Protein backbone atom coordinates (compact mmCIF):
# COMPACT_ATOMS: atom_id res chain seq x y z
CA UNK A 1 0.00 0.00 0.00
CA UNK A 2 1.45 3.41 -1.11
CA UNK A 3 0.71 6.92 -0.15
CA UNK A 4 1.09 10.07 -2.38
CA UNK A 5 3.38 12.69 -0.98
CA UNK A 6 1.52 15.88 -0.11
CA UNK A 7 2.17 18.95 -2.37
CA UNK A 8 3.96 21.66 -0.54
CA UNK A 9 2.44 25.18 -0.64
CA UNK A 10 5.89 26.46 -1.60
CA UNK A 11 5.98 24.27 -4.74
CA UNK A 12 2.54 25.51 -5.70
CA UNK A 13 3.62 29.13 -5.35
CA UNK A 14 6.69 28.52 -7.52
CA UNK A 15 4.61 26.94 -10.29
CA UNK A 16 2.16 29.83 -10.32
CA UNK A 17 4.99 32.38 -10.29
CA UNK A 18 6.72 30.66 -13.23
CA UNK A 19 3.48 30.63 -15.22
CA UNK A 20 2.89 34.32 -14.52
CA UNK A 21 6.51 35.18 -15.49
CA UNK A 22 6.16 33.22 -18.74
CA UNK A 23 2.91 34.96 -19.66
CA UNK A 24 4.40 38.33 -18.76
CA UNK A 25 7.43 37.66 -20.95
CA UNK A 26 5.19 36.73 -23.89
CA UNK A 27 3.15 39.90 -23.39
CA UNK A 28 6.30 42.07 -23.22
CA UNK A 29 7.74 40.46 -26.34
CA UNK A 30 4.44 40.98 -28.13
CA UNK A 31 4.39 44.65 -27.13
CA UNK A 32 8.01 45.14 -28.24
CA UNK A 33 7.33 43.39 -31.55
CA UNK A 34 4.24 45.53 -32.14
CA UNK A 35 6.08 48.75 -31.26
CA UNK A 36 9.03 47.73 -33.43
CA UNK A 37 6.73 47.12 -36.36
CA UNK A 38 5.11 50.52 -35.86
CA UNK A 39 8.53 52.18 -35.83
CA UNK A 40 9.67 50.20 -38.88
CA UNK A 41 6.50 51.02 -40.79
CA UNK A 42 6.95 54.65 -39.83
CA UNK A 43 10.46 54.78 -41.29
CA UNK A 44 9.52 52.74 -44.35
CA UNK A 45 6.72 55.08 -45.32
CA UNK A 46 8.02 56.68 -48.56
CA UNK A 47 6.03 59.82 -47.88
CA UNK A 48 7.81 60.52 -44.60
CA UNK A 49 11.39 60.28 -45.89
CA UNK A 50 11.34 61.15 -49.60
CA UNK A 51 14.47 61.42 -51.74
CA UNK A 52 14.80 64.99 -52.96
CA UNK A 53 18.23 65.09 -54.64
CA UNK A 54 20.84 63.01 -56.42
CA UNK A 55 24.49 64.00 -55.97
CA UNK A 56 26.74 62.83 -58.82
CA UNK A 57 30.46 62.64 -58.10
CA UNK A 58 33.54 61.55 -60.02
CA UNK A 59 35.17 62.56 -63.29
CA UNK A 60 32.82 62.04 -66.20
CA UNK A 61 32.41 63.65 -69.62
CA UNK A 62 30.01 61.55 -71.64
CA UNK A 63 27.27 60.38 -69.25
CA UNK A 64 23.96 62.20 -69.68
CA UNK A 65 23.15 63.63 -66.23
CA UNK A 66 19.42 63.91 -66.93
CA UNK A 67 19.23 60.26 -67.99
CA UNK A 68 21.29 59.26 -64.94
CA UNK A 69 18.98 61.12 -62.55
CA UNK A 70 15.92 59.58 -64.19
CA UNK A 71 17.37 56.09 -63.64
CA UNK A 72 18.07 56.85 -59.97
CA UNK A 73 14.86 58.71 -59.18
CA UNK A 74 12.74 55.84 -60.51
CA UNK A 75 14.05 53.78 -57.59
CA UNK A 76 14.05 56.76 -55.23
CA UNK A 77 10.24 56.89 -55.19
CA UNK A 78 10.38 54.11 -52.60
CA UNK A 79 11.78 56.48 -49.96
CA UNK A 80 15.07 56.76 -48.10
CA UNK A 81 14.88 53.53 -46.07
CA UNK A 82 13.39 51.38 -48.84
CA UNK A 83 16.10 52.08 -51.42
CA UNK A 84 17.47 49.07 -53.25
CA UNK A 85 21.07 50.22 -53.53
CA UNK A 86 22.13 47.17 -55.56
CA UNK A 87 19.37 47.79 -58.10
CA UNK A 88 20.25 51.48 -58.41
CA UNK A 89 23.88 50.54 -59.01
CA UNK A 90 22.78 48.06 -61.69
CA UNK A 91 20.61 50.71 -63.37
CA UNK A 92 23.44 53.26 -63.43
CA UNK A 93 26.02 50.76 -64.68
CA UNK A 94 23.60 49.96 -67.49
CA UNK A 95 24.34 53.37 -69.03
CA UNK A 96 26.70 52.89 -71.97
CA UNK A 97 29.57 55.12 -70.85
CA UNK A 98 29.52 54.02 -67.20
CA UNK A 99 32.14 51.45 -66.17
CA UNK A 100 31.48 51.37 -62.41
CA UNK A 101 29.07 53.11 -60.06
CA UNK A 102 29.15 53.39 -56.26
CA UNK A 103 25.81 54.28 -54.68
CA UNK A 104 25.04 55.23 -51.08
CA UNK A 105 22.36 56.96 -49.03
CA UNK A 106 23.10 60.43 -47.64
CA UNK A 107 20.92 61.38 -44.68
CA UNK A 108 18.28 62.68 -44.70
CA UNK A 109 17.08 62.98 -48.32
CA UNK A 110 19.84 62.37 -50.88
CA UNK A 111 21.49 59.64 -52.94
CA UNK A 112 25.18 59.90 -53.78
CA UNK A 113 26.41 58.30 -57.01
CA UNK A 114 30.14 58.13 -57.71
CA UNK A 115 30.84 57.38 -61.37
CA UNK A 116 33.80 55.87 -63.17
CA UNK A 117 33.46 56.12 -66.93
CA UNK A 118 35.01 53.94 -69.58
CA UNK A 119 38.20 55.43 -70.95
CA UNK A 120 38.07 54.69 -74.67
CA UNK A 121 41.42 53.82 -76.23
CA UNK A 122 40.29 52.34 -79.58
CA UNK A 123 37.28 52.14 -81.87
CA UNK A 124 35.70 48.80 -82.68
CA UNK A 125 33.84 48.25 -85.94
CA UNK A 126 31.34 50.92 -86.90
CA UNK A 127 29.81 51.73 -83.53
CA UNK A 128 31.86 50.17 -80.73
CA UNK A 129 34.61 51.41 -78.44
CA UNK A 130 37.18 49.53 -76.36
CA UNK A 131 38.21 50.80 -72.93
CA UNK A 132 41.67 50.73 -71.37
CA UNK A 133 40.61 47.67 -69.34
CA UNK A 134 39.58 45.76 -72.49
CA UNK A 135 35.82 46.25 -72.13
CA UNK A 136 33.80 46.56 -75.33
CA UNK A 137 30.87 48.99 -75.21
CA UNK A 138 28.52 50.70 -77.65
CA UNK A 139 27.65 54.26 -76.64
CA UNK A 140 24.79 56.18 -78.24
CA UNK A 141 25.64 58.40 -81.16
CA UNK A 142 26.33 62.00 -80.19
CA UNK A 143 24.43 64.82 -81.84
CA UNK A 144 26.23 67.69 -83.53
CA UNK A 145 25.24 70.28 -80.91
CA UNK A 146 26.97 68.73 -77.90
CA UNK A 147 29.26 66.05 -79.29
CA UNK A 148 31.66 67.89 -81.58
CA UNK A 149 34.66 67.80 -79.25
CA UNK A 150 33.96 64.22 -78.19
CA UNK A 151 33.54 63.03 -81.77
CA UNK A 152 36.79 64.72 -82.72
CA UNK A 153 38.53 62.89 -79.89
CA UNK A 154 37.02 59.53 -80.83
CA UNK A 155 37.95 59.96 -84.48
CA UNK A 156 41.61 60.16 -83.47
CA UNK A 157 41.49 56.72 -81.82
CA UNK A 158 42.93 53.72 -83.70
CA UNK A 159 40.41 51.53 -85.51
CA UNK A 160 40.23 47.80 -84.71
CA UNK A 161 38.13 45.32 -86.71
CA UNK A 162 37.48 41.59 -86.79
CA UNK A 163 34.56 39.34 -87.86
CA UNK A 164 34.85 37.75 -84.42
CA UNK A 165 34.65 39.58 -81.11
CA UNK A 166 38.43 39.45 -80.63
CA UNK A 167 38.76 42.98 -79.32
CA UNK A 168 40.99 41.88 -76.43
CA UNK A 169 43.52 40.16 -78.73
CA UNK A 170 43.64 43.06 -81.19
CA UNK A 171 43.96 45.69 -78.46
CA UNK A 172 46.86 43.73 -76.93
CA UNK A 173 48.50 43.60 -80.37
CA UNK A 174 47.97 47.35 -80.75
CA UNK A 175 49.56 48.01 -77.35
CA UNK A 176 52.56 45.85 -78.27
CA UNK A 177 52.93 47.43 -81.71
CA UNK A 178 52.46 51.12 -80.95
CA UNK A 179 55.75 51.72 -79.09
CA UNK A 180 57.67 50.10 -81.92
CA UNK A 181 55.93 52.23 -84.55
CA UNK A 182 56.30 55.42 -82.51
CA UNK A 183 60.02 54.79 -82.34
CA UNK A 184 60.35 54.73 -86.14
CA UNK A 185 57.62 57.37 -86.60
CA UNK A 186 55.32 55.07 -88.56
CA UNK A 187 51.76 56.52 -88.38
CA UNK A 188 49.73 53.48 -87.27
CA UNK A 189 45.96 54.17 -87.32
CA UNK A 190 44.37 50.71 -87.12
CA UNK A 191 44.57 46.93 -87.11
CA UNK A 192 42.13 44.49 -88.69
CA UNK A 193 41.89 40.77 -89.28
CA UNK A 194 39.76 38.61 -91.60
CA UNK A 195 37.99 35.27 -91.10
CA UNK A 196 41.35 33.46 -91.22
CA UNK A 197 42.70 35.89 -88.59
CA UNK A 198 45.08 37.31 -91.17
CA UNK A 199 46.28 40.66 -89.79
CA UNK A 200 46.46 43.91 -91.77
CA UNK A 201 47.84 47.16 -90.36
CA UNK A 202 46.51 50.50 -91.53
CA UNK A 203 48.78 53.53 -91.63
CA UNK A 204 48.02 57.18 -92.22
CA UNK A 205 46.42 57.92 -95.62
CA UNK A 206 44.96 54.40 -95.60
CA UNK A 207 48.23 52.67 -96.47
CA UNK A 208 47.81 48.92 -95.86
CA UNK A 209 50.51 46.64 -94.46
CA UNK A 210 49.61 42.97 -94.89
CA UNK A 211 51.06 40.85 -92.09
CA UNK A 212 49.18 37.56 -92.52
CA UNK A 213 48.17 35.00 -89.90
CA UNK A 214 51.63 33.59 -89.14
CA UNK A 215 54.76 35.08 -87.52
CA UNK A 216 52.78 38.23 -86.74
CA UNK A 217 55.17 39.82 -84.23
CA UNK A 218 58.23 38.93 -86.32
CA UNK A 219 56.75 40.44 -89.50
CA UNK A 220 55.65 43.62 -87.71
CA UNK A 221 59.16 44.09 -86.33
CA UNK A 222 60.60 43.51 -89.79
CA UNK A 223 58.30 46.17 -91.24
CA UNK A 224 59.43 48.62 -88.56
CA UNK A 225 63.04 47.84 -89.53
CA UNK A 226 62.52 48.59 -93.23
CA UNK A 227 60.11 51.53 -92.83
CA UNK A 228 62.60 54.39 -92.75
CA UNK A 229 64.80 53.08 -95.52
CA UNK A 230 62.22 51.83 -98.01
CA UNK A 231 58.73 53.10 -97.15
CA UNK A 232 59.15 56.55 -95.62
CA UNK A 233 60.98 58.11 -98.63
CA UNK A 234 58.09 57.24 -100.98
CA UNK A 235 55.29 57.16 -98.40
CA UNK A 236 52.93 59.55 -100.22
CA UNK A 237 53.03 57.22 -103.23
CA UNK A 238 52.56 53.92 -101.32
CA UNK A 239 49.29 51.96 -101.44
CA UNK A 240 50.19 48.63 -99.87
CA UNK A 241 53.14 46.76 -98.36
CA UNK A 242 53.04 42.95 -98.21
CA UNK A 243 55.22 41.42 -95.49
CA UNK A 244 54.26 37.78 -96.10
CA UNK A 245 57.50 36.97 -97.89
CA UNK A 246 60.07 34.88 -96.07
CA UNK A 247 63.01 37.24 -96.42
CA UNK A 248 61.62 40.35 -98.07
CA UNK A 249 58.49 42.34 -98.87
CA UNK A 250 56.49 43.71 -101.79
CA UNK A 251 55.35 47.33 -102.06
CA UNK A 252 52.54 48.52 -104.33
CA UNK A 253 52.57 52.17 -105.35
CA UNK A 254 50.00 54.45 -106.91
CA UNK A 255 49.41 54.20 -110.63
CA UNK A 256 49.14 51.01 -112.62
CA UNK A 257 48.91 47.60 -110.88
CA UNK A 258 52.32 46.76 -112.28
CA UNK A 259 53.90 49.69 -110.47
CA UNK A 260 55.14 47.66 -107.54
CA UNK A 261 58.46 46.75 -105.95
CA UNK A 262 59.64 43.54 -104.38
CA UNK A 263 62.69 43.61 -102.13
CA UNK A 264 64.43 40.45 -100.89
Q: How far apart are CA 144 and CA 118, in angstroms?
A: 21
Q: How far apart are CA 117 and CA 100, in angstroms?
A: 7
Spatial strand order of the sheet with 53-57 comes to 53-57, 110-117, 98-106
Superfamily of chain region 53-117: membrane protein fhac (3.10.20.310)
Q: Evaluate whether 116 touches 58 at the Cβ level (below 8 Å).
A: yes
Q: Evaluate whether 203 touches 243 at the Cβ level (below 8 Å).
A: no
- Name the pTM for this structure: 0.74
Provide the residue ranges of all domains of the chain, joining segments of one domain with +.
11-44, 53-117, 122-263
pLDDT tens readout for residues 118-138? 999 999 998 899 999 999 998
CATH of domain 122-263: 3.40.50.11690
Torsion sign, CA atoms 200, 183, 175, 97: negative
Q: How far apart are CA 141 and CA 253, in angstroms?
A: 37
Write the CA distances from 211 to 122, 182, 183, 199, integer angstroms.
20, 18, 19, 5
Per-residue pLDDT tens digits of the chain, which is 264 residues long: 455 555 555 556 667 677 777 777 777 776 666 565 544 454 555 556 788 888 889 888 888 888 888 888 888 788 888 889 999 999 999 898 999 999 999 988 889 999 999 999 999 998 899 999 999 998 876 544 445 556 777 888 999 999 999 999 999 999 999 999 988 888 899 999 999 999 999 999 999 999 999 999 999 999 999 999 999 999 999 999 999 998 889 999 987 554 556 666
CA dihedral 35, 40, 42, 46 (to 10 degrees): -170
Buried b / exposed e along 107-138 (16+ C-beta atoms within 10 A):
eeeebebebebbebbbbbbeebbbbeeeebbe
Write down the H helix ranges in the chain: 9-44, 65-76, 85-93, 148-155, 167-183, 216-226
Amino acid sequence: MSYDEPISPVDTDRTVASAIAFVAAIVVLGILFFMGKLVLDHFRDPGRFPIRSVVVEGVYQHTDQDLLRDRVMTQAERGFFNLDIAQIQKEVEGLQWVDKAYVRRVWPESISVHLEEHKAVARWGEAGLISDNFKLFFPPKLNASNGTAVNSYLEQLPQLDSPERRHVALLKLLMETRPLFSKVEAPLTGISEDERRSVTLTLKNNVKVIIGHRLISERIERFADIFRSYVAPVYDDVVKVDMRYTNGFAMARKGSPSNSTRVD
